[in-house]
Structure 1
Amino acid sequence: MTPPAAIARTIPAALALSARRHGSHIAIEEGAVRISYAELEQLSRTAGRALLALGVEPGDRVVIWAPNSHQWLVAALGSLMAGAVLVPLSTRMKGGEAADILRRSGARVLFSIGEFLGSYYPALLAEHSLDGLRHRIVFEEAREGDQTWQDFLALSGQVPDEDLQQRIDGLDGDSLSALMFTSGTTGYPKGVLCAHGQNLRLFDSWSEIVGLHSGDRYLIVNPFFHSFGFKAGWLAALIRGATILPARTFEAEAVLRCIERDRVSFLPGPPALYAAMLDHPRRGEFDLSSLRVAVTGAASVPPVLVERMREELGFASVVTAYGLTESCGLTTLCRPGDDALTVAGTCGRPLDGIEVRCVDDCGIPVPMGEPGEVLIRGYNLMQGYFNDPEATREAVDAQGWLHTGDIGVLDERGYLRITDRLKDMYIVGGFNCYPAEVERLLMEHPAVAQAAVVGVPDERLGEVGKAFVIPRQGTVLAPDELIAWSRERMANYKVPRCVEVVLALPMNAAGKVLKGALR
């Protein structure tokens, strides 16, 4: 693994290093657009000079509200070169939600898509007051009166390259790189601050362990605005010199077609991505032989899914990982050579320099093999919540431990198994019930493609489980039969009292099931 001292300390420095090492290698391939690493550095410097022309100062926040694209990446790298703090914004947000984060972050510049999925994004902000926002640039599908991407890049001629280099030279590993707002699926979104150096160290280690290299063709389906698509996505690819293939939306057949056409070798994603690919009725018609590595992770990664990914999709390596925005997106990871049971049943062990423990309600470490709240300490912890010192103190205690709200179990090797979210637990007749455990068991049923379980009120027991399940292609799934099947395999309190067969589960943009919507 690369020694920490040998890793570039800032993201612009990492790009410059890759441009020297892999100058002619394709960095981004998006349709007819092909940009080499040398060209990516020059385009990013052009964007950086244009931002200086707009008056962007070190520490200013620059927001990107758009789907994955080469413009997204150039704008992000240019912003970091200018010393700005990048604020990625979910394309799932409505105008009011986006305006709230634009105001709370104090953003000076907004890059956005024009038309996307039936909405014109600049128009979504029309009714909202954004006095602090000085500039709005539209990547594509711009309308009359918009400042276009080409107009923006042309501003670079007003600033000499030496001025930009001075700004780049002023950065170090402790400089803030990103302000990422948590998804808000369970509460009010909080802004998480991270720095250049910790992200580079963390995802250089991640890349080394999973085997990402310059010859890989990396299809990034996870959105760039999420830690998975940003850090384990384009940032890791940039560090290693891999080719980035941005995907704007996830549609199973489009992904299968892309794998065949573009000879994709590296495909991380949430469990729902692989489940949808596996159960696509035309999967067998596509050549997936180029696939080599899959990296996934969630509270629930059923063993049967990992087995099917290997056997039916042909991945030579499937590894699971765990992290959250407050830990720069990564904490634990499986290792090469881990047996199938370890990969299926855990999310790996901590990376070097990171500690994990599981504690009880009093903060006392629980015995090995017993469930407790997962705590994390190490160089990967956030710099804090933006403008919220009280929330930061609540999340990170005086000893430097981040309290995650996740329930996990550590084994004798230090491998972590996430059993559930603390807030998703429900109590059935006095027994704590963790939905992820029930979901994993339901996924063993031969007719179940995906499952999500929530607690619902019950007059007798207080709460009971309700399961929402998607059947596998070509199967018939009867709710009563699944409940009977569950009674034979689960403790009674774990058995869902109600099963609803659905065609789809509500997901956020990161591929996580929206349990609040199901409730």
Structure 2
Amino acid sequence: MRNNGLGVWPARRALMSPRNTALVFGERRLSFADVHERTTRLSDRLRAAGVGHGDRVAYLGPNHPAFVETMFATHLLGGVFVPLNFRLAAPEIDYMLAHSGASALIYAPECAPVVRASRRVAELDTVVALTRPDPGEHDYEEWLAGGEATPIDVPVTLDDVATILYTSGTTGRPKGAMLTHGNLVWNCYNLLIGVDVAGDEVTLVSAPLFHVAALNQCLLPTFLKGGTSVIMPSWDTGGCFDLIAEHRVTWMFGVTTMYAELARSPRWAHADLSSVRSLMAGGAAVPPALISTYQERGLTFCQGYGLTETAPGATFLEAGQSRRKAGSAGVPVFFTDVRCVRTDLTDTAPGEPGEIIIQGPNVTPGYWHDPEGTARAFSPGGWFHSGDIAYVDADGHFHIVDRVKDMYISGGENVYPAEVEAAIFEHPAVAEVAVIGVPHEKWGESGRAFVVTAPGATLTLGDLRAFLDGRLARYKIPTRLDLVAELPRTGSSKVMKERLRDLARADGHQGSR
């Protein structure tokens, strides 16, 4: 095979274990042979529609087997897969479609209102709906079935870009992190060394697949090993318990919010979790008390640290250390170097906070169509700057402390205040605005907006949220509004957000949705 990328994984797995179940979705089961045939047919259709090496194909929708098929079909042609966050509003989706230069879009029925509100979708060469296509669009199953199942083999190297994953930028515009086929393969190697993923693994894919963790830390390693991925369309606490029991799930990934909801459920004490071998957490630090709750049930709870740009694994706490080092993000993954440095790039002493920088074959080559952003992200020697603060203990374990940037994480989703502030500033009643992340009992963090209103204007939280609905994804919309006479600023007129954080800490408010 001339294709050395991910596109040939279904064909290789179909040779090795054709009848084994690859994907489970509701009552539907797809074997590796099924995935291979369907991926090949879809790839043939995409090729006939003009998709070739380097062309971008976007997918918009909740978790579904079509996500997986579209990804592998795109890679089979040497194309670039662009998974989009289905929680975003139409203007946000339009920007990503335009910026990536996607020529084709496959979307789920849940996203039909956003697609119809889009100004960009009508300009695409090919639009495919999973169900109920609009005029000019294709029906996914009919379109796929019309493709040829003849093997496709085009040259693809590990250095070719496989995926563009959009991650919010501090300037208010998302950045497209490029991940090569090599980045994804090496990340799988790192994960498979840190986690004993077996050929009989039954992995619950419950986090969104457009996120780097669910896709690259769960689905791809499981597929590579020949295990089964049980796909949840969206997170549901009761549904999670049901699927674990029904399919004898052995492994799952989640964020703090998901694990907290499971532990708070009335089903927790009596749920049958005997099949679960290990749990993996990421996205934000997990409180030690929550980890203990799972360990008391005899469950192995591991967590790690990473970013979209590192595909994502950078550090990992293996099962053997999960109790002794509970709360730490572990040590650097096997084929990757991670350092904690001062501003002069010298290594910090044990216990001394510094910025995390990463180097390795899993690290992005840069941002799509953004050479300046790429240059800013790296220092000499190819070290990627995470913008996150940690300290390393005497045993070499990393402990995440804070973020250099103002980003906060709400329900596992990264939120950058600059983007939110830009949207709020469009409201006619707003003269000045600053947004910070504050603790939230359910979502981990949520936004708190400090607004100086225009003379004579009034503004309520309800007004603001209604204004932002449709402009921003709902998890980005602040849950608290404070009207202030002025914002604290430095001599150079920069807003002093630490003063605002001090205020938030002083009143101890937690937002509510």
1:132 Cα shift? 5.2
Q: Percent identity?
A: 28
Q: Corresponding residue for 1:432?
A: none
Counterpart for residue 348 of structure 1 = 330
Structure 1 Cα separation of the partners of residues 29 and 266 of structure 2? 32
Matched, 1:370 2:352: yes
CA contact (8 A) 1:373 1:406 kept: yes
In the other structure, the counterpart of 2:137 is 146
Cα distance in 1 for partners of 2:501, 2:210 equals 36
Are residues 365 and 18 of structure 1, via their aligned partners in 2, closer, same or farther at CA, if it must alter by over 3 Å? Answer: same
Could you list the per-position Cα deviations for residues 17-58 of structure 1 after superposition, in whole angstroms to 9, with x for gaps in the alignment? 322222211000112211111221111111111111111110
Superposed CA deviations along residues 445-468 of structure 1, whole A, max 9, x for unmatched, are xxx77754889888999345467x
Cα drift, residue 350 of structure 1: 1.0
In structure 2, C-alpha distance between the alignment counterparts of 1:76 and 1:55, rounded to whole Å: 16
Pick the aligned partner of 1:337 from 297, 320, 323. 320
Pair 1:182-2:167 in alignment? yes
**Does the 8 A contact of 2:8 with 2:76 survive in 1?**
no
Aligned match of 2:509: 500
* Pairing 1:290–2:267 present: no
Distance 1:375 1:501, change over 3 A: closer
Does the aligned pair in 2 maintain the 1:69–1:248 contact within 8 Å? yes
- In structure 2, how many angstroms separate the alpha carbons of the residues matched to 1:238 and 1:264? 15
Residue of structure 2 equivalent to 1:358: 340
Tell me if 1:462 matches 2:499: yes
Would the aligned equivalents of 2:301 and 2:322 in 1 still touch at CA under 8 Å? no
- Among 328, 335, 351, the alignment partner of 2:311 is 328
Task: Read off the aligned partner of 1:305 and give its amino acid letter.
Answer: L
TM-score after normalising by structure 2: 0.79
The aligned counterpart of 1:161 is 150
Pair 152,68 (structure 1): closer, same or farther in 2 beyond 3 Å:
same
Q: Which amino acid aligns with 1:93?
A: L
- Superposition deviation, residue 197 in structure 1: 2.0
Runs of 5+ consecutive residues of structure 1 not aligned to the other structure: 1-7, 427-441, 468-495, 505-519
* Offset from partner CA, 1:452-502 (integer Å, 9 cap, x none): 4889888999345467xxxxxxxxxxxxxxxxxxxxxxxxxxxx3122355
Task: Tell me how far 1:409 sits from its aligned partner.
Answer: 0.7
Q: Is the 8 A contact 1:194 1:383 kept in 2?
A: yes
Distance 2:192 2:215 in 1: 13
How many residues align? The count is 437
Q: In structure 2, which of residues 242, 245, 248 is the aligned counterpart of residue 257 of structure 1?
A: 242
> C-alpha distance in 1, partners of 2:31/2:21?
4
Matched letter for residue 96 of structure 2: I
The question of whether the paired residues in 2 share the 8 Å contact of 1:53 and 1:155 is answered with no
> What amino acid sits opposite 1:124 in the alignment?
A
- 1:77 CA displacement: 0.8
| 1:181 alignment partner AA | Y
C-alpha distance in structure 1 between counterparts of 2:226 and 2:508, whole Å: 47
Deviation at 1:222, TM superposition (A): 1.2
**Residues 151-182 of structure 1, C-alpha deviations (whole Å, 9 max, x = no match):** 3214424xx725x22x2xx0121121101111
CA displacement at 1:212 relative to structure 2: 1.5
Aligned with 1:228 (options 213, 217, 221): 213
Q: Is the 8 A contact 2:186 2:335 kept in 1?
A: no
Residue 293 (structure 2) pairs with residue 308 (structure 1)? yes
One-letter amino acid of the counterpart of residue 150, structure 2: D
Moved more, 201-210 or 68-77: 201-210
- The aligned amino acid for 1:324 is L
SS in 2 for 1:462: helix
In 1, are the aligned partners of 2:14 and 2:36 still within 8 Å (CA)? yes
SS at match of 1:218: strand
Bigger shift: residues 191-200 or 10-19:
10-19
Change (3 A) 1:138 1:319: same
Note closer, same or farther for the CA distance 1:31–1:466 as it changes in structure 2 (3 Å cut).
farther
Q: Deviation digits for residues 48-88 of structure 1, max 9, x if unmatched?
A: 11111111110000000111111111111111101110000
Q: Secondary structure at the match of 2:174?
A: coil
CA-CA distance at 1:425 after TM superposition: 9.5
> Which residue does the alignment assign to 1:241?
226
Contiguous gaps of at least 5 residues in structure 2: 409-438, 451-486, 490-495
Q: Would you say the 8 A contact 2:10–2:33 is kept in 1?
A: no
Measure the CA separation in 2 of the matches of 1:462 and 1:71: 47
Deviations 1:387-406 (CA, angstroms, capped at 9, x unpaired): 11010000012221111110
How big is the shift at 1:347?
0.9
Select 1:30's aligned residue among 25, 39, 50: 25
Question: Matches of 1:273 and 1:466 in 2, distance apart?
Answer: 29
TM-score, reference length from structure 1: 0.78
Q: How far apart, CA to CA, are the structure 2 residues paired with 1:388 and 1:466?
A: 37
Residue in 2 that maps onto 1:477: none
Once residues 120 and 157 of structure 2 are traced to their aligned partners in structure 1, the CA distance between those partners, rounded to angstroms, is: 35
Matched residue of 2:379: which SS?
coil
Runs of 4+ in 1 over 6 A off after TM superposition: 453-461
Aligned to 2:483: none
User: Structure 1 residues 235 and 142, CA, compared in 2 at 3 Å: closer, same or farther?
Assistant: same
